[in-house]
Amino acid sequence: MRYLLLCIFLALLFCGCSGVSKEEKPAIQCTVMKFEAGNGISEGEAVSVTDMFASALQNSGRFIVVERKKLDAVLQEQQFQATMNEANAVSAGRILAIRKMFTGSIGKLGENYVINLKMIDIETSKVDFAISKTYDDDLEDIGDDFIPELVKDVLKRIEEMR
């Protein structure tokens, strides 16, 4: 009888353990500043690429992206609007409890597009990492494969930091 109870107890114990999943990593609250338009890129194209990147971050499930409009409202409220720069955005990010900020640029180099991206820690104002990637297809298609790959690179770099 004891043997039977022990077997049942162990079976239940092992069944209960199989339901334990990997620990969910909390989503990182962040914002994405408008990418600077470099050589051969219009302001409108830079905004579109920025928006695609922000959407891909949000869709990854690892980020909660705070809209730039909220950041801009805080900047305006704090009277930073006239001198918009990274330092002011970091200050506004602290007010909104944002942990990370992405800044970047996109430009054309020869026939290729180059995206330079930085992730900044709001608490320390230090650059966590920088990524530079080249895209060699039509700009209209950048959201199909390139932007999702860029987000994968970001997630990989975050994992390496842990």
Residue with tokens 């060699």, as numbered in its chain: 136
Question: Domain residues of the chain, as ranges?
Answer: 26-161
Beta-carbon count within 10 A of 25 CB: 12
CATH of domain 26-161: 3.40.50.10070
| Count of positions (residues) in the chain | 162
Please say if the pLDDT value at position 22 is more than 70.
Answer: no
Grade residue 85 by pLDDT with cuts at 50, 70 and 90. low
> What's the whole-model pTM score?
0.78
List pLDDT tens digits, range 41-57.
Answer: 999 999 999 999 999 99
